[in-house]
Amino acid sequence: MSSIQTQFLDLTAHHTGYDAIDPTLALKGSAAGKVVFITGASRGIGRATAIAFAQAGARAVYLAARSQDALEETRDLVKQANPDTQCAWSVCDVASAEQVKAAVADCAGAFGGIDAADANAGHLGPWTKIGESDPEGWWRSFEVNVRGVYHVIRFTLPFLIESAKRHAADGGSGGHLILLSSIGAQLLMPGASDYQTSKHAINRLCEFVQTDHEDDGIKCFAIHPGGVATDLGLAMPEDIHAYLIDEPGLAACFAVWLCSGRADWARGRYLSANWDVGELAALKDDILRDDLLVNRLRARL
């Protein structure tokens, strides 16, 4: 697991929220007037993200996930965080194009548009060597982690493009799209071929979104949320559990920071919620000059 550290920039590592990304402090009001669409919002990081956007003053938060009871719990927590934030939800399996399309349409119909989308739903099956894997189970990771993310991208983009143009005209920033990736995207761990390859694909998909829709004002990010002891995280092999030390609120606050416009310069890139945002911003010129934090094959003769 020491190879994990080689995937991080040499920055201060955070494991919980801090002032610079606190939605009630530095980011207070940064989501004012905005509508945020979140999948995987019934628990864990998705739930924390919905609450954080409410704390940052979002006009509305729309929740999508497969569990109705858990969605209702998240809705109640959003209202506790900010009674002025409107909240609606729908039961939705991101692997279904029709269900995602319907959820996005319901959100836009209820709240007049979408300013930011967070593709947070994910899947992790048993870690098994490829030669011993179940074909249907192996592919399920791609159905959720790649196809599901694509569905969120595909159906929110028209609304995000409208938001980007509207906010640009007002001198603000809109049209933000966050794709939940993982540090696993850059690792090769025995038995994790489905999960880690699917997350690697998300990073590349983020780059394509930016390439295709840069001129439309879209700002897309693939993020590592930290090592969080969610149901998904705890489904990993036990020797990894010692690395699950990050609070779900860290990634949630990081998502609010990304959607505040402060990181628009880093669009199209893979970022870690663990990285100190002040130190990350100080590397802006180096990152842009050398085209860092993207998937590339570099060869030396």
Give the distance between the most distant pair of CA atoms in the chain: 60
Residue 18 a catalytic site member? no
List all residues 6 or more positions away from 235 whose beta carbon is below 8 Å from its beta carbon: 124
251, 181 in Cβ contact below 8 A?
no
Beta strands in the chain (DSSP E): 35-39, 60-65, 86-91, 116-119, 176-180, 219-224, 269-272
What is the number of other CB atoms lying within 10 angstroms of the CB of residue 55?
A: 23
Annotated catalytic residue, options 62, 195, 219, 270: 195
What's the DSSP call for residue 277? Answer: H
Residue 199 a catalytic site member? yes
Annotated catalytic residue, options 199, 219, 243, 284: 199
List all residues 6 or more positions away from 103 whose beta carbon is below 8 Å from its beta carbon: 37, 39, 62, 64, 90, 92
Residues labelled as active-site residues = 195, 199
